Amino acid sequence: MSLAAGSAWAQDDRSVRTDAREGGSSRPGVSSEMRALIERADRAWDAMDSVVFEFEANPKGMEQVVTQMPRAKGEIWFAPNAEGTGLVRAAGTGSVGEEGESAAFDIVWDASRATWLDHENKRVMRGARPTGYSGQMAMTVMLPPAEGLRGKSPFAALAAEAERVMSGPAVEVDGERCEVMVFMIGQAGYRFAIAQDGLPRQVTVQFPIVSQELVLRRPDTSRNLSEAAFEIRAPEGYETAMAPDQRPQMQPNRGGTTTQRRRIEPGGAQPVVERPAETPRATDASRPTATPAPEFELETPEGETVRLSDLRGRVVVLDFWGTWCLPCKLSSPLVQKLHEDYEGKPVTVLGLAVRERDLSKPAEYMDENGYTYTILLEADDVATEYRVRAYPSFVVIGPEGELLHMARGFHPENNDPFPKIRELIDEHLAKLGE
C-alpha cells in the first residue's frame, strides 16, 4: 500500500510543481481554488486566541509496521501566537496496537521544549521530547504538520515551504464535508481536511509505507485559555525532574555534516537547521590511533553469549532499539535489509534491546515480522557505556574494534543513517579485500 504522492488523494492534482522559495499562497502555480482555501483556513486560525479539540490519533499503512505503532485519543489545546512559539497541550490515553497496554499521558510543548507526566516513574519531566511508554503515546499528536499550528497563518507558511501544493478530493469527517489541501515536503505529504468553518478536522503526515492521522473533533474556541492552563502540576507523590541529555556526550564527528530538518516556522517558513548529536570521533585511515569500542558480553534470546571481542576481523553494526520505540520499529525493515545485503560477508548486524519490561517481547517482535538478524537482550548497561541518549541509535565498529561512526534516531524523510552506514561498511570491506 503506497502512501506517497502516487496514492489516491494525490491523483487529483490541480497544481504544478512550484519553486519552494516563493512565498505563501500567492506563489506561482498554486491554483485559485487552493489559494482561496489556504486564505480561508488562515483567517479562521488567526481569528482565535485558543482552540480545544477532541482528537483521535491512528496509524495507517503497512500492517506489520502499523500493528507496532501507538494510537491515542483525548483532548488537544492550541494557543497560537504570531511568533510561531505558541503552546500546545494534549492529554488522553493510548496503547501500542489495538490490544496493547493502555497508558495515560499529559504533555505541553512549545517550539523547543516539552513538559510531560512520566506515569511509570511518577515524575513530571522536562526535556526536548517525551520518553517512556506514556511519552510514546504523546508522540502520536506531535506530528510535523501540526508544528505550524503553534503560529498564525500556518497554511500560507506551509505553502511557502512546500515543494508542491495540491488539492485532494473532498472527504467527510464525522459527517462533515471537508476540503483537502496537501503540501509535499521531501518524501512526506502533509494533508489537511478543512471544514466549512475553516478549521482543520483531519491532519495527516504520509510517508511511503505508513501515515499517522489525527482526527480533530468538536472545536471549542470559547474557553479563552490562559498561559496557566498550559502548566502541568505534579500530582501527589510525583517529583519534578529534567530528562537526561538526549544527545550522546562523546567526541564530535569532525567530518560530519549539518542536516536540515524541515520544521515549519510560521514566522519565516524556513527549514530549521538541527545539528546532529555529538557522536564518537569517526575513524580516518590517516589517523595513527582510533577510539576503541567498549567491550560487551550479552546473551541472545536462545541463551547464546556474544562478545564484541570475538567479532574482530568483521565490521559490526549495533542497533540500540526497543519494542516500545516507534522510530525503532520504522527502521527495523532497513536493519533487516542491511543484514540480508551483507550476508556471507564479514559483517555482523546486532540489535541490542534496551528498556524491555518483558524479555520475551524482542524475540516475539522479530518472529512476527520475519526479521533474522541477531538480537541481544538486557543491553541497558551497554547503552550507557556507549552513551546512547536517543533510540534507535546506530554504531559502526571496524574490524580492529575501533569506533567508526555513531548516528542517533531515524526518520524516513530527513534522518536516514543507512546510506552512511553502508558507505562505511563498503569502505572497510574493500580494505579487507572483500
Compute CA 171 distance to the chain's CA centroid, rounded to the nearest angstrom.
27
- Domain final residue pick, 242, 276, 299: 242
Whether 226 and 268 map to the same domain: the answer is no
Helix 418-431 crosses helix 326-341 at what angle (to 10 degrees)? 30
Residue 196 lies in a domain: yes
Measured CA to CA, the distance from residue 340 to residue 210 in angstroms comes to: 23
**CATH number, domain with residue 357:** 3.40.30.10
Domain assignment present for 259:
no
The residue count of the chain comes to 434
- 257 belongs to a structural domain: no
The reply to whether 236 and 325 lie within a common domain is no
Q: Looking at the structure, do residues 313 and 412 belong to the same domain, yes or no?
A: yes
Give the per-residue pLDDT at 414: 66
Assess whether 235 and 287 both reside in one domain.
Answer: no
- Domain for residue 255, yes or no? no
Kindly state whether residue 423 falls inside one of the protein's structural domains: yes
90 shares its domain with 185: yes
User: What single-letter DSSP state applies at residue 336?
Assistant: H
Q: 3-class DSSP state for residue 63?
A: helix
Give the SS3 label for residue 3: coil
Residue 298 within a domain: yes
Strand partners of residue 347: 315
Same domain as 277, residue 226:
no
3-state secondary structure 82-110: CCCCCEEEEEEEEEECCCCCCEEEEEEEC
- The pTM of the full predicted model, rounded to 2 decimals, is 0.57
User: Residue 141 falls within a domain, yes or no?
Assistant: yes
Euclidean distance between CA atoms 253 and 141, whole angstroms: 33
Q: Are residues 286 and 234 in the same domain?
A: no
Q: Specify whether 59 is located in the same domain as 131.
A: yes
Report the CATH number that the domain containing residue 213 is assigned in CATH. 2.50.20.10
Question: 37 and 182 share a domain?
Answer: yes
Output the pLDDT for position 271: 29
Angle, helices 154-161 vs 32-46, to 10°: value is 140
User: What's the structural domain count of the chain?
Assistant: 2
Residues 299 and 172 in one domain: no
Q: Are residues 309 and 238 in the same domain?
A: no
Same domain, 20 and 138: yes
pLDDT by residue, tens only, the chain of 434 residues: 222 222 222 223 333 333 333 445 555 567 888 999 999 999 999 999 999 999 999 988 877 777 778 889 999 999 999 888 899 999 999 888 777 788 889 999 987 789 999 888 888 988 877 877 777 788 888 888 888 899 999 999 999 888 889 899 999 999 999 999 999 887 788 999 999 999 999 999 887 678 889 999 999 999 889 989 999 988 889 999 887 654 333 333 333 333 333 333 333 222 223 333 333 333 343 344 568 999 999 999 999 999 999 999 999 999 999 988 878 888 999 999 999 999 999 999 999 999 898 899 999 999 999 999 999 999 999 999 998 878 899 999 999 999 999 998 887 766 789 999 999 999 999 999 87
- 198-205 contacts at long range (C-beta below 8 A, 24 or more positions apart): 198/40, 198/41, 198/43, 198/44, 198/45, 199/41, 199/44, 199/45, 199/51, 200/41, 200/149, 201/173, 201/174, 201/176, 202/171, 202/173, 202/178, 203/143, 203/145, 203/146, 204/145, 205/143, 205/144, 205/145
Find the domain containing 349 and state its range: 264-431
Query: What confidence score (pLDDT) does residue 120 get?
Result: 81
